[in-house]
Amino acid sequence: MADSQLAAVVLAAGQGTRMKSSLHKVLHPIAGKPMISHLLASLQSLLPARTIIVKGAMGEQLENALPDVEFATQAEQLGTGHAVQSAMPLLEGCSGDLLVLYGDVPFISSAVMQQMIDALKNDDNCGLVVLGFRAKDPASYGRLVTGPDGALERIVEFKDASEAERAISLCNSGMMLISGEHATGWLSSLSNNNAAKEYYLTDLVEIARKDGMSVAVVETGEDELIGINSRAELAVAETIFQQRSRAAAMTAGVTLTAPETVFFSHDTKLGKDVVVEPNVVFGPGVTVEDNVTIKAFTHLEGATVRAGAAVGPYARLRPAADIGPGAKIGNFVEVKKATLAEGVKVSHLTYIGDATIGANANIGAGTITCNYDGFLKYQTTIGAGAFIGSNSSLVAPVTVGDGAIVGAGSVITKDVEADSLAVSRARQRSIEGYATSFREEKQAEKAARTKAAKQKD
């Protein structure tokens, strides 16, 4: 575990103009969760003493979305060093090391952060740790120039680099850990004596070395350091998350018959021996227990599926749907805010909302619980072993007792007693010869209209 005095500053004051959005860049979701929240979750596992987010444009959105976090404001965009300086007044009296992260780099893991902390702690002469990576396409990234001992000598921006320096594959991520003993002094000594008149964090390398301190480099994979500045990069990040989630699910004992077509949320929980068929989407808040089959083209959100159940194909489970052990949810069935006990069958073309269904009840095709009167929602209760005939409407609030039968096509507006039969529909009658006379009448009418149209032409 990291030093309990660790402080973290997360930079999120950028304009985010390339997103072309009225939503703050770092609030755009990956797997249903704002990108900055992915980062904060990893950071929180280190138990930092303080976490400060530096906000700028649209900062009120961040404050509303992240009410439990402290904020500093960077009123002007004067560089990364200036952004960290903006947070320092809030950290007065905090003696711990200072970890600088970026809100639009969501995938850096707590393990990598811990490596940075360890690198600083394990070398008494180290005052700064810079996080680097080997880029497949280094492009215009700044290069980390290291000495024979592996310590960082300088960071060279691409535009200023020589051909030999541009050939270096070790690139700068922008993230670093600053010794708590030196953080305030070093940051205050940053200068904007450059063409852009901005304060750069990268200048800390030179400042630390002039102060007689070494600078360490910790390397991690490029996928951990993907930065998101556009919708295209957001899509790449989503792809990375989904690929990791699919691999983790299969490693844990889940069968994905077409992995590339299954999409997970950030908090999806799947048990062992779960089978997920193609084109299934898990929204936030889904738990699936062992030995469940989720059939193709099913969408789940905020739902729990108990052991041994089967759902789909083409089913939709909405928030607070609780599908009992061994239950069956079939094609074109929608369940919302309903608890289904063990062995319940809802096989086709049905809507179950705001309901409780007892064990082994059978709900026929086309059944709906009429739970909404235009103003309020009401509850439907169906007892254990009840049988609801096809195309029935249960007008809530209503209770169907244990073992009761509702005849097909019924509209049930009153409670049905246990083990009774409820039928609510007009009595069927036959009119002999009606169909023949109806056809003859309509054929004659059609012929007359055709004749009149021809005469008009």
Catalytic residue numbers, as ranges: 348
SS (H, E, C) 105-117: CCCCCHHHHHHHH
The H or E element that residue 281 is part of is strand 281-282
Which residue type, as a one-letter code, is found at position 42? S
Angle at 227 between CA 222 and CA 228, to 5 degrees: 140
What residues have CB less than 8 Å from 210, skipping those under 6 apart?
Answer: none
Instruction: Read off the DSSP letter of residue 25.
Output: G
How many CB atoms lie under 10 A from the CB of residue 387? 18
Q: Are 13 and 55 in contact (CB under 8 A)?
A: yes
Q: Are 29 and 58 in contact (CB under 8 A)?
A: no
Instruction: Read off the DSSP letter of residue 377.
Output: B
SS (H, E, C) 201-218: CCHHHHHHHHCCCEEEEE
In the numeric block, which tokens belong to residue 311?
């759902």
Residues in the chain: 457
Angle at 229 between CA 98 and CA 193, to 5 degrees: 55
Q: Give the C-alpha separation, 390 to 385, whole Å.
A: 16
Angle at 433 between CA 430 and CA 439, to 5 degrees: 115
Which of 108, 93, 129, 131 lies closest to 44, judged by CA? 108
Burial of residue 191, with CB atoms counted within 10 A of its CB: 0-12 exposed, 13-18 middle, 19 or more buried: exposed
Q: Give the C-alpha separation, 423 to 389, whole Å.
A: 10
Which residue type, as a one-letter code, is found at position 139? A
Which residue type, as a one-letter code, is found at position 435? A
Q: Give the C-alpha separation, 117 to 109, whole Å.
A: 13
Q: State how beta strands 345-357 and 362-363 pair.
A: parallel
Q: Strand, helix or coil at 284?
A: coil
Torsion sign across C-alpha atoms 73, 76, 77, 83: negative
The H or E element that residue 62 is part of is helix 59-65
Which of 364, 347, 349, 357 lies closest to 380, judged by CA? 357
